[in-house]
Structure 1
Amino acid sequence: MEQSMQALQKGQIDFGICGRGLHSQSDFFIDKLPDGISHKTLFTDKQICLVRENHPIISAVKTGQWDL
């Protein structure tokens, strides 16, 4: 990531596309972009987990023992 930022600043590349984590601290990095670099959120997505019917993890979810 750091090399990409340097390449953007030097004009070696014109733009970059990257994924951003869902963790609340991921916004912190965006607030600290180097001079001359801006960003635009293209879209946001929602992550889900699929399991088969009657999978054992379902009981853990229902009792609050399993989450993101």
Structure 2
Amino acid sequence: MRIRRILGLALAAATLAGVSAVGAVSAGAASAPDISRDDCTAAGGQLVARPYAGEYCALPDGTTQAIT
């Protein structure tokens, strides 16, 4: 019984660590990199200014990216 409990806890810890790693990688992949003004207009996007927050590029597919 004790061995099953220890193995169960080890499996649960490994699963949790794996899920955390996958979540971190997914979050990193989901965030878009910053682009330049020229790249924005070349991709068909529009430059949009936000008060006190700088500018961003609104791309035709509905995504937004910060301007570097």
The normalised TM-score by structure 2 is: 0.28
The structure with the larger Rg is 2
Larger helix percent: 2
Structure number with higher strand proportion: 2
